[in-house]
Amino acid sequence: MGIQVLCIGTELLVGETTNTNLTFLGGLLTAIGQEITREWALPDDRALMLAAIRQALGESELVICSGGLGPTDDDLTREIAAEALGVPMTLHEPTAERIRELYARRNLTNREYRIRRQALIPAGSEIVPNDWGTAPGSWCRAANGSVLVLLPGVPRELKPMFTSFVLPRIRAEFPPRVRRHTVAIFGHPEALVEERTLKALNGMPGVEPAYSVKTEAGKCEVRLTVKAGDDDRLAAGVAALEHEFGADLHPAGTELAALLTADLKARGWHLATAESCTGGGIGQQLTELPGVSAVYRGGVVAYHNDLKQALLGVPAALLDRHGAVSAECAEAMARGAAARLAAEVVVSVTGIAGPDGGTADKPVGTVFIATLVKDEVKVTRNQFPHDRRGVRGRTITSALNQLRSHLLATP
């Protein structure tokens, strides 16, 4: 079995602390070809901790514990780890001396009990140095050969201790188990990404796909996993996906706004936005990107009809006839922005974010998105099945995706 991670601390279970240590460890261990096969989040409870450490050590050759190494009586990890390992605790005198000096510098006196608690380690274990706090960690070996690593819960201590000491040791002592490669697919819903991925990987045993939707980023990531050493299989799997998804496939971590900006830069075109129901959210997303001013001219947020007329030149008669939430209005907003903001490329949106304002033929979640590229306008009618926040979020990513597809289709 792969690596097991035990995150200890009642605060993790009562909604007070987000378990960022697991995310951190998962990211770094994955990057070196290791696999976390189970995570435990445990309260500061003696019996539960002891049972969990024993079971994990029986099943896995590497078990990593975070939390419960502090000076207070509810910090139980060290002594329970020693019990699980079947060894006594010993005082690590150099550590005690270091903590004494630290406390003296902070004018903390009469702390001998707390100092000794933190300097006790399971007998036979190695110290994982903590230059960022007081309690050190330990690298302990169980009788069956499995390794138990104890680290503090405080992320600003755990992170550097793990990167500087534990990670190199794992690299040296535990050969990689798997190889992974993740790609980002833009413009397709998860179910379709899965269907096409399975089709592309048909006949490639040993290449396991997994999917992770990043709704807010408008993409679906596909992670391919093979056994360590099967690099050729992995390369073949990635090549199959590249062939299947073509220009919709990009390296993991690619942002939609970055793709758009790069494309516009390459063509020397400028972009403007005309937003109603997103209230500037598209512009906000674009301007998160440094250097976007090279291509982004700016945008108009026209919520009220009179501003759609005054700032974007949407004709009053059009608004009377079709309403503000209409394909005609979205197109007029896009054409108005192109002319008034001097842009070759525009994205405009108008819709009903809710919860009120829906009608039978235009229910809440109806959003019209227009994209204009060099005078050609494409308008889509969308129905987003979410609350106000969700409708606005989906509108932003769909608008950027529609623009990306429109640009791809423009020579």
> Could you list the residues that contact ligand ATP (CB under 6 A)?
7, 9, 11-12, 17, 19-21, 66-70, 75, 135, 152-155
Min dist CB 151 to ligand ATP, Å, is 7
Min dist CB 99 to ligand ATP, Å, is 11
| Cα distance from N-terminal residue to C-terminal residue, the chain | 52
Residue in the block written with tokens 């942002």:
255
Distance CA 113, CA 117 (A): 6
Min dist CB 70 to ligand ATP, Å, is 2
Min dist CB 41 to ligand ATP, Å, is 8
Query: What Cα–Cα distance (Å) separates residue 403 from each residue in 246, 375, 398?
Result: 17, 13, 8
- With respect to ligand ATP, which residue has the nearer C-beta, 69 or 119? 69
- With respect to ligand ATP, which residue has the nearer C-beta, 157 or 331? 157
Min dist CB 106 to ligand ATP, Å, is 14
- With respect to ligand ATP, which residue has the nearer C-beta, 49 or 85? 49
| In contact, 153 and 69? CB cutoff 8 Å | yes
- With respect to ligand ATP, which residue has the nearer C-beta, 153 or 336? 153
Q: Name, in order, each residue with C-beta under 8 angstroms of 325's C-beta and a sequence gap of 6 or more.
A: 350, 351, 352, 362, 366, 367, 368
DSSP characters for 161-206? HIIIIIHHHHHHHS---EEEEEEEEESS-HHHHHHHHHHHHTT-TT
Min dist CB 365 to ligand ATP, Å, is 36
Considering only the C-alpha atoms of the chain, give the largest distance between any 2 of them, rounded to a whole number of Å. Answer: 86
Distance CA 40, CA 316 (A): 62
Min dist CB 69 to ligand ATP, Å, is 4
| In contact, 297 and 372? CB cutoff 8 Å | no
Distance CA 264, CA 259 (A): 9
- With respect to ligand ATP, which residue has the nearer C-beta, 71 or 298? 71
- With respect to ligand ATP, which residue has the nearer C-beta, 70 or 187? 70
